[in-house]
């Protein structure tokens, strides 16, 4: 390299699962025969853009891919480089899991350059493996382990969603309400958003399996297939969660409709009771001559008694017909 970029980390792999951090001088003097280099950059920095475009020596398409603002999970081969766009679940504090964090990689036999904007926990976990001597030993191994960690974090998020849905389903049977309805709606939205990124990521893994790269051996492809199968299981679990959430919403709608029907039923019973009372009081309230009992001092009490008897008769009739 003619110069060293401003990097998040620059690791020289020793091929045994460990790596050491390179300083700017060592990085500027790096050559492919020095060892496998993993260079991790922040693509939002002007210095990163300048180095990638002017001094990295990468093909123009690779540079554009590493600096792309909006990406969708996919894989492509450019000469002997593998261009890989992946996304991980956002587990940063205060963030929503469905707000996926993207990472862009341009990988070759001796050099792996990755760029990101926001911190990705899977990258931090991969760096910890290097400190324990359990990190990648080759470029292909780095791609596979990073993909595996991304999928593992996805699995943790899917399990959390399943637990949340199980709790909501239990609450649905005991204390349904508007809060549960909103929680189920949010859960369903999260599953839809996550699946929108999970499915293309598996397609990217499948595309990698079909590529013929000299530095991507068969055993690494078999491990990548396991990662892809694990991601497929997570996608299927998301589909199951989405269906269960839809059923929960239907149950909530059914309960709401039942509650509405019960209230309408009560109002109908009340209307049926007061309808004859209103008719009689309205009829006797007509301000014309000839009203029965107008001259009788006990007529009002008799009228009240007849109304009470009428209400009692209606209650008896409704009880007998099992309407109450």
pLDDT tens digit sequence for 173-221: 776 666 777 888 888 888 888 888 888 888 999 888 888 888 889 999 9
Q: Name the CA dihedral angle for 228, 78, 17, 125, rounded to a multiple of 10 degrees.
A: -60
Measure the CA–CA gap between 200 and 260, rounded to whole angstroms: 43
- Phi and psi (nearest 5°) for 137? -110, -15
pTM of the model: 0.77
Tell me the helices (H) and strands (E) count for the chain, helix number first. 8, 7
Host domain of residue 74 = 9-255
The mean pLDDT value of the chain amounts to 85
Q: What angle do CA 76, 80, 86 make, to 5 degrees?
A: 35
Structural domain includes residue 294: no
How many other CB atoms are found less than 10 A from the CB of residue 206? 15
User: What is the count of structural domains for the chain?
Assistant: 1
Q: What is the CATH number of the domain that holds 242?
A: 3.30.460.20
Do 25 and 34 touch, CB atoms closer than 8 A? no
Structural domain includes residue 220: yes
**pLDDT category of residue 11 using cuts at 50, 70 and 90:** very high
The β-bridge relationship of strands 111-116 and 36-42 is parallel
- Give the pLDDT confidence score for residue 120 in this predicted structure: 87
Structural domain includes residue 35: yes
Structural domain includes residue 179: yes
**CA 137 from centre of chain:** 33
Structural domain includes residue 142: yes
Residue 58 has pLDDT above 90, yes or no: no
Burial class (CB in 10 A: 0-12, 13-18, 19+), 279: exposed
Structural domain includes residue 323: no
């Amino acid at each position: 390299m003619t110069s060293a970029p401003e990097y998040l980390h620059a690791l020289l792999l020793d091929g045994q699962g460990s790596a050491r951090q390179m300083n700017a001088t060592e990085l500027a003097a790096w050559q492919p025969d020095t060892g496998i280099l993993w260079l991790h950059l922040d693509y939002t920095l002007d210095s990163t853009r300048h180095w990638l475009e002017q001094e990295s020596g990468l093909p123009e398409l690779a540079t554009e891919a590493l600096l792309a603002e909006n990406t969708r999970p996919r894989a492509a081969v450019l000469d002997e480089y593998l261009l890989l766009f992946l996304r991980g679940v956002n587990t940063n504090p205060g963030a929503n899991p469905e707000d996926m964090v993207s990472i862009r990689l341009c990988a070759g036999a001796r050099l792996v350059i990755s760029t990101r904007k926001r911190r990705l926990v899977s990258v931090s976990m991969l760096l910890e493996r290097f400190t324990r001597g359990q990190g990648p030993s080759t470029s292909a191994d780095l791609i596979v382990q990073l993909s595996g960690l991304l999928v593992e974090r996805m699995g943790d998020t899917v399990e959390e969603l399943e637990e949340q849905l199980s709790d909501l389903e239990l609450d649905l049977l005991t204390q349904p309400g508007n809060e549960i309805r909103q929680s189920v709606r949010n859960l369903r939205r999260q599953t839809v958003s996550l699946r929108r990124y999970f499915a293309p990521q598996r397609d990217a893994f499948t595309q990698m399996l079909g590529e013929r790269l000299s530095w991507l051996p068969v055993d690494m492809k078999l491990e990548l297939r396991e990662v892809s199968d694990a991601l497929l299981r997570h996608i299927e679990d998301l589909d199951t969660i989405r269906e269960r959430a839809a059923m929960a919403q239907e149950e909530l709608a059914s309960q709401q409709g039942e509650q509405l029907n019960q209230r309408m039923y009560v109002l109908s019973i009340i209307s049926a009771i007061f309808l004859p009372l209103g008719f009689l009081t309205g009829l006797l309230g007509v301000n014309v001559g000839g009203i029965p009992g107008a001259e009788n001092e006990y007529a009002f009490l008799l009228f009240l008694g007849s109304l009470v008897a009428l209400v009692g008769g209606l209650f008896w009739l409704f009880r007998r017909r099992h309407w109450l």
